[in-house]
């Protein structure tokens, strides 16, 4: 029942900006962490940024200083503000959430559908 809806991808020139949005829904779960991953053609999926319920963040070295992950707890939303985009940022971006089911204390992991970010040179 936990699901993620992702939006914000698109085509942008190098040096431009995009903001990705991910909304989590599911009344039976508490979200512990949410993050953004990406996968480019011919490459493995990699972590871009992650944020915990307490607000701690982690970033891939390749995006530090350019990308910012943030959250809105009331709306169960996370954002990825991507500035100074580079062609190598081109990838399918996926939202990920790890939560705890209240009734069973089970940890669940859910992926969004992905949104394509294309950065032209």
What's the whole-number mean pLDDT along residues 15-38?
93
Q: What is the dihedral of CA 23, 107, 1, 115, to 10 degrees?
A: 40
Per-residue model confidence (pLDDT) at position 29: 85
pLDDT digits (tens, 9 = 90+) for 32-81: 999 999 999 999 999 999 999 899 999 999 999 999 999 998 888 999 99
Tokens of 42: 């011919």
Strand 67-72 to strand 57-59: parallel, antiparallel, or no bridges (unpaired)? unpaired
Per-residue model confidence (pLDDT) at position 72: 92
Per-residue model confidence (pLDDT) at position 102: 87
What's the whole-number mean pLDDT along residues 89-116?
94
Sign of the torsion angle spanned by Cα atoms 26, 23, 35, 57: negative
């Amino acid at each position: 029942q936990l699901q993620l809806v992702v939006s914000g991808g698109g085509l942008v020139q190098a040096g431009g900006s995009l903001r990705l949005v991910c909304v989590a829904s599911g009344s039976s779960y508490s979200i512990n962490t949410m993050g953004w991953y990406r996968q480019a053609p011919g490459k493995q999926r990699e972590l871009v940024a992650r944020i915990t319920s307490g607000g701690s963040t982690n970033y891939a070295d390749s995006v530090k200083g350019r990308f910012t992950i943030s959250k809105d707890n009331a709306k169960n939303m996370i954002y990825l503000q991507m500035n100074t985009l580079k062609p190598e940022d081109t990838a399918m971006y996926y939202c990920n959430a790890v939560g705890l089911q209240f009734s069973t204390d089970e940890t669940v992991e859910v992926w969004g559908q992905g949104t394509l970010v294309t950065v032209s040179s």
